Amino acid sequence: TWSLLDLGIFHGVTTNPVLLERAGKDCTVESLREMADSAFALGAREFMCQAWGKSALQMIDIGEQLASIDPRVVVKVPLTGPGVQAASVLAR
């Protein structure tokens, strides 16, 4: 939970589409922007979230949107063919 950040032993917060679904949260860029803002306000130094999509192009588009939220946002991709292709573009 967010209160664990107060312990000072965590560097950041991470999520992915499956965790968002389980928590009943929308998997949208805007929803992740709000979560990142909350995490940073509570002391997180990093917010890691996963891009989604069926193709590398979709993941690149979402990944770029996520990365533009804040320099402290780290974009993850799934370890799939399209995910690895997206990672090779996003890492540049």
Q: Is residue 76 annotated as part of the catalytic site, yes or no?
A: yes
Name the one residue in this structure whose structure tokens are 């499956």.
18
Long-range contacts of 3-11 (CB under 8 A, 24+ apart): 5/39, 5/42, 5/43, 5/44, 6/42, 6/43, 8/43, 10/44, 11/44, 11/45, 11/46
In the chain, which ranges are continuous DSSP H helix? 17-22, 29-41, 56-67, 81-90
Among 70, 76, 82, 85, the one annotated catalytic: 76
The set of catalytic residues is 76
